[in-house]
Amino acid sequence: MPKAQRTKSKLRSKDSSIRSRKSAVDNKQVIEKPFDNVQITTKESIVEELDNVASKNLKRKIRHDAWLEKLDTSYNAKQQQKKKADKRKNGLKTDLSSFSDILNTIKIEPKIPVQEVEAATAPAPVKPAVLPSTSFKSKKARKKAEMQEILRFQKVMQHSAFQQNPMATIRQHVQNTFANEIA
């Protein structure tokens, strides 16, 4: 069943003007301000007002920047204290200057004679690369070549020349493996 329609009526009567309300003041009690106290707006006063608004925004920005700086300095201070605490916990408590003097007096003698090092680093005749630089035709061929390379590398690691001079041996291994690409 539909709602019953209400007739519309005005909420206020015509007598309830602003002056007839309880909180209103009678017309006789209202005192008008004299014209002398009223400021006349001129171009200069408008410019001053705009300057005040700009300075207000500027002051707000300055306060905000100061607040951000305060936060930043407190964060940085905490981080520095944290670093100092970590250094105290983990830092070395000995003076290492005496060790540097001792290290300067020690002479390093090579374990391998110079002739063997030169022979190991001498360029070998160019051989065809073990791994061809061209792409493999199938996954199976590529996988097989990778397995062969792993086995070859393990043999190199166990070789006595590698254990005596690893860098020269690795250089030689790379030259043998990728001869066509380097040359």
Domain boundary assignment for the chain: 38-90, 110-182
pLDDT at position 166: 84
**How far is residue 44's CA from residue 32's CA, in Å, rounded to a whole number?**
27
pLDDT of 16 strictly over 60:
no
- Predicted confidence (pLDDT) per residue in 63-101, tens digit: 898 888 888 888 888 888 888 888 888 766 666 777 777
The label of the residue with tokens 């069943």 reads 1
DSSP tag of 4: P
Joined tokens for residue 169:
């041996």
Q: What is the pTM of this model?
A: 0.24
Question: Using H for helix, E for strand and C for coil, what is the string for 7-75?
Answer: CCCCCCCCCCCHHHCCCCCCCCCCCCCCHHHCCCCCHHHHHHHHHHHHHHHHHHHHHHHHHHHHHHHHH
Joined tokens for residue 170:
């690795």
Instruction: Tell me the mean pLDDT in the region 116-142.
Output: 65
pLDDT at position 149: 85
Per-residue pLDDT band at 115 (split at 50, 70, 90)? low
42 close to 48: Cβ distance less than 8 angstroms: no
181 close to 129: Cβ distance less than 8 angstroms: yes
Per-residue pLDDT band at 57 (split at 50, 70, 90)? confident
Percentage of the chain surpassing pLDDT 70?
55
pLDDT at position 54: 72
Per-residue pLDDT band at 162 (split at 50, 70, 90)? confident
